[in-house]
């Protein structure tokens, strides 16, 4: 069995060690290294080539936001999940902007953390709806709500594209979206590429934020 290689980044050694012990109870997960800040995370990625990095937000010297930026600039294929608390919304937005695949609350059930790791590898966006709702309400400069009708008109989106955006924001994969909309996986992939082009967005994470920001998410 090919294992998913994970690096844990947290300045609290007890947290990192505890999470390592728990994650390695899953037979398809291997924690290959730990780090205590963002710069160390980059160095570990250079040496160990992980599949996923679990990155704490608040760390000394180099926090998780800058760590995410450094790692994604050099290793675009490495997935980064932010380990956060409910009060870190300011940092979460910045980390997503730099390419994080989503975020997991630190007090989440361990099965949810495991599922988040697996979902990120499939290209899904890992989000907590309660936290992103708080992001929207607290960051009016980033999130100005608009009606679906206005968004549809402003960005020349059709009903099918709006439905696909809703499904992406729900964290579904292309295959899962295809089943729900009775379309092929390839068709969904092509449609998402077209949507990203229309909206001038980089990836599914930015599309998810767009959906919540504009009241499209279900």
Number of H helices, E strands in the chain: 11, 5
Summarize the confidence of residues 17-33 as an average pLDDT. 94
Q: Choose the final residue of a domain: 75, 106, 137.
A: 137
Structure-model confidence comparison of residues 100 and 138, the more confident one: 100
**Residue-range definition of the domain harbouring residue 128:** 4-137
Same domain, residue pair 12 and 110: yes
Least confident span in 11-25, 62-76, 119-133, 174-188: 119-133
Our CA angle for 87, 139, 69, nearest 5°, is 70
Q: Are strands 4-9 and 29-35 parallel, antiparallel or unpaired?
A: parallel
Contact (CB, 8 A) for 86 and 131: yes
Long-range contacts of 126-132 (CB under 8 A, 24+ apart): 126/81, 126/101, 126/102, 126/171, 127/102, 127/103, 127/171, 127/208, 128/103, 128/104, 129/217, 130/86, 131/84, 131/86, 131/89, 131/92, 131/103, 131/105, 132/209, 132/212
Summarize the confidence of residues 147-175 as an average pLDDT. 87
Q: Are strands 4-9 and 52-56 parallel, antiparallel or unpaired?
A: parallel
Say what the pLDDT of residue 145 is.
Answer: 47
Same domain, residue pair 46 and 103: yes
Least confident span in 22-26, 144-148, 155-159, 176-180: 144-148
Domain count within the chain: 2
Quote the percentage of the chain above a pLDDT of 70. 89
**Is residue 16's pLDDT more than 80?**
yes
**Is residue 146's pLDDT more than 80?**
no
Say what the pLDDT of residue 218 is.
Answer: 64
Q: Kindly provide the b/e burial profile for residues 2-24, where b requires at least 16 CB atoms within 10 angstroms of the residue's own CB.
A: eebbbbbbbbeeeebeebbeebe
Same domain, residue pair 9 and 109: yes
Same domain, residue pair 96 and 18: yes
Structure-model confidence comparison of residues 124 and 161, the more confident one: 161
Contacts for 5 with CB less than 8 Å, ≥ 6 apart: 30, 32, 48, 49, 50, 51, 52
pLDDT in tens, 86-111: 666 777 778 888 889 988 888 888 89
Structure-model confidence comparison of residues 135 and 33, the more confident one: 33
Q: Choose the final residue of a domain: 137, 168, 202.
A: 137
User: In which band, very low, low, confident or very high, does the pLDDT at 134 lie, cut at 50, 70 and 90?
Assistant: low
**Is residue 1's pLDDT more than 70?**
yes
């Amino acid at each position: 069995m090919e294992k998913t290689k994970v690096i844990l980044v947290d300045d609290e050694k007890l947290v990192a060690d505890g999470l390592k012990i728990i994650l390695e109870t899953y037979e398809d997960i291997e924690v290959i290294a730990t780090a205590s800040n963002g710069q160390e995370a980059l160095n570990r990625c250079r040496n160990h080539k992980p599949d996923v990095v679990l990155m704490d937000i608040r760390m000394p010297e180099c926090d998780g936001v800058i760590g995410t930026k450094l790692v994604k600039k050099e290793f675009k294929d490495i997935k980064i999940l932010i380990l956060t608390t409910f009060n870190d919304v300011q940092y979460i937005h910045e980390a997503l902007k730099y390419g994080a695949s989503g975020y997991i609350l630190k007090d989440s059930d361990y099965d949810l953390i495991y599922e988040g790791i697996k979902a990120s590898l499939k290209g899904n966006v890992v989000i907590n709806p309660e936290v992103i709702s708080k992001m929207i309400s607290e960051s009016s400069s980033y999130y100005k709500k608009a009606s679906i009708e206005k968004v549809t008109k402003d960005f020349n989106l059709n009903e099918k594209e709006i439905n696909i955006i809703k499904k992406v924001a729900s964290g579904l994969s292309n295959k899962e979206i295809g089943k729900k909309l009775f379309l092929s996986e390839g068709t969904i992939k092509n449609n998402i590429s077209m949507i990203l082009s229309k909206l001038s967005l980089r990836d599914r994470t930015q599309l998810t934020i767009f959906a919540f920001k504009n009241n499209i998410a279900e």
